[in-house]
Structure 1
């Protein structure tokens, strides 16, 4: 079975690679047809795929060669939200869209093969941000990976589609004053955009949308079903769909929804942008680094960016949409003169619009590099190498589940724990985590130039509630991992073992780090620290919206890719309504 599955995956990967190469004008047509027919495509289907790739390459080449001085909309950042915004705007053939992405092509094995996502961390597809020394992490400087590639985080993440809890969305609707952010409204977006391959749930799940979603495909790493059984014994509901009814209630355990089709990652670039690359009204410009926004008074008129060593300034007839993520978006705003007055003046930046909330309210889910067990018999990573998770409460009195540990089918550690423990080559981890953190950090700029690095102060685990929650998360992970169901797969526990009190707290502070879900630095709301309103317009300015994870008032329960797509969809809805397109 493994051999057959591997052969199928390899064939599809070859088709994907060759098709992507054709779209960049570098493919071999004969090899593509041979690979496609070997993978089971009919000659007609393979020929159609090849013809589209040829058209896409020719059209994008022409679009890039003929950059104009003005577009109707400029979308900065081709991540999860940016791809959705650009696609919805470009669906109208009369709307001209320029999509700027600082990173390069997503046509690389580390992106397409879902099991290889850890290889993207620290690569050229990662902005590789680092936090400042953090006292609450024993002085550590945690890394903050973020996607720098077509598709953004959706091209380099762990492929998990988690919608967020009902309470998250209803809170957003309350603080923004916009009913369109409510859970019932957002459910409509999810139903429209999803192509769900799992069990039918007409109230909550969609079919036929752009985003292909499935459960992990067989063969599954045997640790995952064993953990599901252990969770059931613990008292958690065992569920097939972690985005179903449990996201309205107390939580449960199971296998995650994944963005995988025929063995290939279905990033938001694959879902939203690849299918329209043959259109003349959208120009996708890779390697385009946005320097700053351009203004006429309080109106954003366009953007300045660097591409192939040259500085370009291009105007937006209607609006600029910043979708560059929770670190780059506030950085670009501040360099452009939008942000906390004291910080701007400190760096000699003229104040265009004072907004004290820019860069504040930094949030991230906290993921722990442990708990770890050595395999009895080594098992390869399958699907996304993370085929089990659960949502649960650290305290039964909480309204929303605040824990979401994940199985990592490889020896996942922090930079400290990998030095403190002897790590075997074959190990699995149940990474303890909290997803309703109460700690708040901030970020700012270190200078007035686009190349000056951001300064990130995560302030992780700075509240007693977060320490208690993560301690409880570790306790539950250890109980599951050391249960009878895992005995066949756990030769020995590597970390943390029977630590208590201050020793356990020291381990947690040494092992804790980012979940790669950096958010909330330009929050939506109506108070004095809010940066955007419920329609994602930046306060005090015209012609500018933000559509990325930075606008979250509070981080959602679970992985943030899916909510970011919803943010992009909501932004497009507002733009289409305002400009009647």
Structure 2
């Protein structure tokens, strides 16, 4: 047990955290040095790095509640949270490319955000993703070499040593799936029989080349989730300089001219204003971050005018460039002999190229040890409970959607046009991926685990296209709606500063220029670490500047008022 986590496992420390946070919440300050909005992956990292300096007062705001519940802590229960109180329960608009289905888009609404309800897979992304980020930002601090150095520093890797790519002793506990269900290594043998290389490590050399198969890297230990919030923020919650405020909705950023000076939030039934002496950080996720930006007058002028919102900064890229990984749910086989799921029920994965001419993989598939299907597929195929799934997902989508405001009411969910499969190439890539998964699932290596193929079975190309449209669903990797870059549609620069607004930065998956190749939790940690480094490097200068600046007019009004 390393220094990051040892304190968390004592009852005395838990009591001190509870007592300290109760006192801090009972006497909320009017101003903090930094306000971090959202306790998800990136937000937790930023809050941690800021709060390590005891002279810096940090407020971390979360709309959801506690993560101390079995459905979060028990790694095998992750799916129980989907659609429940710890889920924002967003839903995309009906999509003609998905037979007019309106797919649910789960996002974490709990301490820890998505990392408290996700499948706990640690996937760094392909090396080419980070080099692309660096080119888009014109900043080598985002390239693969830089990201790799950070990964090595923050990981506590429990697998085979790889001093070039893995580190130990950091806050993020990662290990290959321990004691996997026998069907997981069988999938690796099946992949090898079809020509895919098999690796010891999902995040090693495999993600620097054309793909391959491996046991998944997981952030769980002894059946318990090791979330980013618990690894980064919780060990500091007994400190007097870190306030973690739950059940609090961020309504908008408060601006004094073109400077962010705080946030307006809904807390305990009242709207209150909280000031930030130095900076506000939005880490609300790729749906809520653009929503709050627009509600604050930052976004496309035409959209804001349509909602009667005064325009502070015209940034047409806010809410645009929406991307997500779309998977087929799913290709299913009935077990020959039922096997109970282990760990997170998704212990093996492979990356594959749907077109051999591609330079890097565009498909990632997980073997799930349970049947996973959309309602439409369930009604048609009626998969049995004792079944396993192959879930091919598109990790380099060409389709682009958008987030727009439904109204100027902060409590209304935004409109989400996922545009999934709107680009014909995305559909064809997933069709080829389903064909490959059928070949793998029906291979001799998988025969000991197969009584019968449940779905899709042999189909014509036209029928298979319809099958993909009926089974396409999200992998919960919403991203890219406030992208980092230098073109007219970029929202933040290489230091994650919102263009045209001082004192406001964004740190979450929304800043990605394109979605990374694989699960997004690990890249979001890098985003948080990057901003944490930037803020801590300049914190002293920021404090000196702020001490000479009078409080903005945003606070020359009544601080608290009843909700209308």
TM > 0.5 fold call: yes
User: Structure 2 residue aligned with 1:260, among 203, 220, 232?
Assistant: 220
State whether structure 2 residue 300 is matched by structure 1 residue 340.
yes
Question: What is the rounded CA distance, in whole Å, between the counterparts of 2:468 and 2:11 in structure 1?
Answer: 51
Q: What is aligned with 2:401? A: 441
Question: What is the rounded CA distance, in whole Å, between the counterparts of 1:420 and 1:71 in structure 2?
Answer: 55
Q: What is aligned with 1:501? A: 461
- Cα deviation for residue 46 of structure 1 reads 10
Describe the shift of the 1:46–1:103 C-alpha distance in structure 2 as closer, same or farther (beyond 3 A).
closer
- Cα deviation for residue 55 of structure 1 reads 1.3
State whether structure 2 residue 433 is matched by structure 1 residue 473.
yes
| Contact 2:8-2:234 within 8 A present in 1 as well | no
Q: What is aligned with 1:55? A: 16
- So what's the TM-score if we normalise by structure 1? 0.91
User: Structure 1 residue aligned with 2:171, among 210, 235, 239?
Assistant: 210
State whether structure 2 residue 423 is matched by structure 1 residue 455.
no
Question: What is the rounded CA distance, in whole Å, between the counterparts of 2:222 and 2:486 in structure 1?
Answer: 44
User: Structure 2 residue aligned with 1:286, among 242, 246, 264?
Assistant: 246
| Contact 2:7-2:235 within 8 A present in 1 as well | no
Q: What is aligned with 1:549? A: 509
Q: Give 1:181-200 correspondences, 5 Å limit.
A: 181-200=142-161
| Contact 2:76-2:223 within 8 A present in 1 as well | no
Residues 393-439 of structure 1: per-residue CA shift (max 9 Å, x gap): 11122122111011111110112111111121111100111100111
* Secondary structure of residue in 2 paired with 1:98: strand
Question: What is the rounded CA distance, in whole Å, between the counterparts of 1:276 and 1:385 in structure 2?
Answer: 32
* Secondary structure of residue in 1 paired with 2:375: coil
| Structure 2: 5+ residue stretches without partners | 542-564
- Cα deviation for residue 47 of structure 1 reads 11
Deviation >6 Å, runs of 4+: 45-48
Q: What is aligned with 2:91? A: 130
* Secondary structure of residue in 1 paired with 2:176: coil
State whether structure 2 residue 231 is matched by structure 1 residue 271.
yes
Question: What is the rounded CA distance, in whole Å, between the counterparts of 2:470 and 2:372 in structure 1?
Answer: 13
**Residues paired across the two proteins, number:** 537
Q: What is aligned with 1:29? A: none
Q: What is aligned with 2:353? A: 393
User: Structure 2 residue aligned with 1:350, among 310, 313, 322?
Assistant: 310
| Contact 2:174-2:218 within 8 A present in 1 as well | yes
* Secondary structure of residue in 1 paired with 2:254: strand
Question: What is the rounded CA distance, in whole Å, between the counterparts of 2:277 and 2:388 in structure 1?
Answer: 52
Residues 223-253 of structure 1: per-residue CA shift (max 9 Å, x gap): 1111110001111111110100111101110
Describe the shift of the 1:580–1:395 C-alpha distance in structure 2 as closer, same or farther (beyond 3 A).
farther
Question: What is the rounded CA distance, in whole Å, between the counterparts of 1:93 and 1:578 in structure 2?
Answer: 15
* Secondary structure of residue in 2 paired with 1:99: strand
Question: What is the rounded CA distance, in whole Å, between the counterparts of 2:299 and 2:348 in structure 1?
Answer: 41
State whether structure 2 residue 135 is matched by structure 1 residue 174.
yes
* Secondary structure of residue in 1 paired with 2:510: helix
Residues 326-359 of structure 1: per-residue CA shift (max 9 Å, x gap): 0000001111111111110001011011100000
Q: What is aligned with 2:500? A: 540
- Cα deviation for residue 476 of structure 1 reads 1.2
Q: Give 1:302-317 correspondences, 5 Å limit.
A: 302-317=262-277
Question: What is the rounded CA distance, in whole Å, between the counterparts of 1:99 and 1:304 in structure 2?
Answer: 14
Question: What is the rounded CA distance, in whole Å, between the counterparts of 1:270 and 1:378 in structure 2?
Answer: 34
Q: What is aligned with 1:36? A: none
Q: What is aligned with 1:84? A: 45
| Contact 2:8-2:235 within 8 A present in 1 as well | no
Question: What is the rounded CA distance, in whole Å, between the counterparts of 1:510 and 1:221 in structure 2?
Answer: 29
Question: What is the rounded CA distance, in whole Å, between the counterparts of 1:209 and 1:46 in structure 2?
Answer: 14
Q: What is aligned with 1:157? A: 118
Q: What is aligned with 2:442? A: 482
User: Structure 2 residue aligned with 1:431, among 372, 377, 391?
Assistant: 391
Residues 110-167 of structure 1: per-residue CA shift (max 9 Å, x gap): 1111111111100100001000010111111011000000010000001100001110
Q: Give 1:35-114 correspondences, 5 Å limit.
A: 49-114=10-75
- Cα deviation for residue 580 of structure 1 reads 3.7
* Secondary structure of residue in 2 paired with 1:126: coil
Question: What is the rounded CA distance, in whole Å, between the counterparts of 2:15 and 2:409 in structure 1?
Answer: 40
User: Structure 2 residue aligned with 1:411, among 371, 379, 404?
Assistant: 371
Question: What is the rounded CA distance, in whole Å, between the counterparts of 1:266 and 1:297 in structure 2?
Answer: 42
| Structure 1: 5+ residue stretches without partners | 1-39
- Cα deviation for residue 579 of structure 1 reads 2.2
State whether structure 2 residue 320 is matched by structure 1 residue 360.
yes
* Secondary structure of residue in 2 paired with 1:318: strand
* Secondary structure of residue in 2 paired with 1:160: coil
